Structure 1
Amino acid sequence: MHRIAFAVHEHTMLFEAAIAAEVFGVDRSDLSPTGDWYDLTVATPDGSPPGWLPQAAAHGYEVLPDMDTVIVPATADPAAPSSPALLTALVRAYEAGVRIASLCTGAFLLADAGLLDGRSATTHWMHAGEFAGRHPRVDVRADVLYVDEGRVLTSAGKTAALDLCLHMVRTDYGAAAANELARRLVAPAHRPGGQAQFIAAPNASVSPDGLEAALEWARARLDQPLTVEELARKAGLSSRHLARRMRDATGLSPLGWLQRQRLALAQELLERTDATVEQIASRCGMGTATTLRRHFQRVLGVSPTAYRNTFHR
């Protein structure tokens, strides 16, 4: 059987851990083409079983290098120092060839152990900035549901833990097993898009100091062709100076800012109105539905129709 361990720590969050326990801690050998399933162990600081999973075998962190897979659940306090004993055990497990996965903010522990250096990784989008600041050697992907780097895997926030767990089942036991498990859990076997579609659109009332009037003028005309030169004239700046001010304040070029405002307006119209995609594209200055779909797919990872199906109010 595939030996899998949850590396439980003092800040473990139960929601993501419960998702993983439902996938890996229940005997579903009837789904396996080989007739076996996962053999779950819980690794805790003192080797005692946690009260929320009393049926699982419990050991100390020293068993992690003997596993096939180790899962690090989310931490409720990403800023809290990681347990040195757990970090040491994770490194030893990785060196022993163990596959290691984190759920949500559990990525902070993997990064603290140095296992994400030079790799792409994700975590909950609300903590992505903090994660990138603390771990500059990690390529932080805040727009995806999970990242598979072979022997190191990370998931995005909350229910994205299920996306990663199903992906691991698909890797270990095949697509048929993962698809049937998803049906039993009343969940999609594969969700389109990534975390980006769940991040709130930028607050239109927030503008860089001194540029409020010019940017508000642009927001009121998103349905019209606008150029960087027009925006610069409205701000009383040269195009180069405007670009520098915009990048310093927003991290975007003027053109990128305009595009993001148009996309934000499209999101709002998809959520709150029944206008067609063609009508929304025109009202946002995107021109055609094809252009809107292209930008939606590039930035949010889903089509406008899929976005509306999820968020329409």
Structure 2
Amino acid sequence: MPGSLVSRRDGVEHTGFDMSARRVKRVPSNEQAGPADRGQKPAERLQPRPAVRALASRDAAAGTPARDVAFLVFPGFQIQDLSGPLAAFEIAGANVVSGSYRLRVVSPAGGPIMSSSGLVVLTEAVGPKACDTFVVTGGDLSKTPPNLMSEMRQAILSGITGARRVGSVCTGAFFLANADLLNGRRATTHWRHAAQLQRQFPKAKVEGESIFTKDGKVWTSAGISAGIDLALAMIEDDLGRDASRATAQLLVVHYRRPGGQSQFSSLLDLEPESDRMRDVLEYIREHIAEKLSLEHLADVASLSSRQFGRVFFADTGETPAKAVERIRAEVARSKLEGGDESVESIARKVGFADPERMRRAFMRVFGHSPQSIRRMSKQS
């Protein structure tokens, strides 16, 4: 059936199976169970949570029509770009609000499509069959054949006919941009490719920090696991906050993850294409405790402030001010996690004027305070 998972090991084909198990409430063993649990049979304890049951009952009574969601894949796609959001919609439709979604996997020509991991997915050919939501997966585009962009463009323009919304996961944004769907729109992609997306498609408004974006009918997400965040946001848009939150609980993921993409990226390791910008980043790292104004960094690059700001953003996907803040935060984090030096001392050594400014920067970059970062590091 379309969307079935097939793997090949030792020349033998192994077909995947349905894992849409019913919701259960985790209950301790008899040794740990409370008085109300002792003496119950296991089947009596493993029951759906009342709040989730109520959502499913409400929807069944209302007779909400199912929404068709299609996922577009291609040879060499990243499997989690598909499996993450697909699982979110599946669980929402099977376990939270019954019958709310119908899912299918499509490709330009149909048939078995192998992912970058070697897992093969059976697909339908993109055709005139209308869908509510059309999601384009991503992958390592440097390893794809040269004609893939044109094939995917045709598939996308055919697949979105009549669709209420279109989305992308990770580098799937490059396919949307190539189909002229990101012109003048806010968009995001994997942090490593945000600057490249902006350079290659200057009409798009790339937000390299965002986990996901919504601009009209077009949605985009950051890299790989952020496809789940995208799907949860779409589920909330369709079914409401309670349904999205219940889906996140069953997936065991954040309903709204703290911080943006920068908590997963590293400007410390960034290597821009421009020699000048590499020199500027190296200068920032070596003079992290000093005042690093736009004018000062422009002098380092031997450019005017205006020209420097444009070139730096094109090469890194960040403004100079945000880049300096992030590098300071990254250096501070490594010091917090690797020793017992005081927050005040670290803030001073990495160029923050005071601990409060460092705290605000940490909240913007990592979604956690310096104290929380240190506490989590010690616990792990």
> Which TM-score tier does this pair reach, normalised by the shorter chain?
0.7 to 0.9
Inter-CA distance 36–150: structure 2 relative to 1 (3 Å threshold): farther
Shift of 1:26: 4.9
Aligned pair partner of 1:70 in 116, 128, 134: 134
Inter-CA distance 87–310: structure 2 relative to 1 (3 Å threshold): farther
Q: Give the match for residue 101 of structure 1.
A: 167
Is 1:61 the counterpart of 2:130? The answer is no
Gaps (5+ residues) in structure 1?
233-238
Shift of 1:199: 1.3
Q: Give the match for residue 96 of structure 2.
A: 31
| TM-score, structure 2 normalization | 0.65
Question: Structure 2: how far apart are the matches of 1:31 and 1:277?
Answer: 44
One-letter amino acid of the counterpart of residue 280, structure 1: I
* Bigger Cα displacement from structure 2, 299-308 vs 191-200: 299-308
One-letter amino acid of the counterpart of residue 127, structure 2: E
Shift of 1:277: 3.2
RMSD of aligned alpha carbons = 3.8
8 Å contact kept, 1:144–1:194: yes
Q: Give the match for residue 134 of structure 1.
A: 200
Q: Give the match for residue 77 of structure 2.
A: 12
Q: Give the match for residue 235 of structure 1.
A: none
Q: Give the match for residue 62 of structure 2.
A: none
Q: Give the match for residue 287 of structure 2.
A: 218
| TM-score, structure 1 normalization | 0.77
**Equivalent residue pairs, number:** 296
Shift of 1:139: 1.2
Question: Structure 1: how far apart are the matches of 2:281 and 2:260?
Answer: 32
> After superposition, what is the alpha-carbon deviation per residue over 1:12-45, rounded to whole angstroms, capped at 9, x for unaligned?
221221112212245734412xx43210122223
Quote the sequence identity (%).
28
3-state SS of 1:28 partner: helix
Q: Give the match for residue 45 of structure 1.
A: 108
Question: Structure 1: how far apart are the matches of 2:95 and 2:183?
Answer: 38
Aligned pair partner of 1:2 in 56, 67, 79: 67
Shift of 1:169: 1.2
Q: How does 1:1-313 map to 2 (within 5 A)?
A: 1-26=66-91, 28-32=93-97, 35-48=98-111, 50=113, 52-54=120-122, 58-63=123-128, 66-77=130-141, 80=144, 81-94=147-160, 96-202=162-268, 218-219=287-288, 222=289, 226=291, 241-242=299-300, 244=302, 247=308, 259=325, 261-299=327-365, 302-305=368-371, 307-308=373-374
Gaps (5+ residues) in structure 2?
1-65, 114-118
> After superposition, what is the alpha-carbon deviation per residue over 1:213-249, rounded to whole angstroms, capped at 9, x for unaligned?
9878734xx2xx6576xx97xxxxxx97447459489
Inter-CA distance 52–21: structure 2 relative to 1 (3 Å threshold): farther
Question: Structure 1: how far apart are the matches of 2:320 and 2:250?
Answer: 48
> After superposition, what is the alpha-carbon deviation per residue over 1:237-271, rounded to whole angstroms, capped at 9, x for unaligned?
xx974474594896699987765553343122233
8 Å contact kept, 2:90–2:101: yes
3-state SS of 2:81 partner: helix
8 Å contact kept, 2:92–2:244: no
> After superposition, what is the alpha-carbon deviation per residue over 1:80-131, rounded to whole angstroms, capped at 9, x for unaligned?
4435343234234545343111111111111111101111111111112221
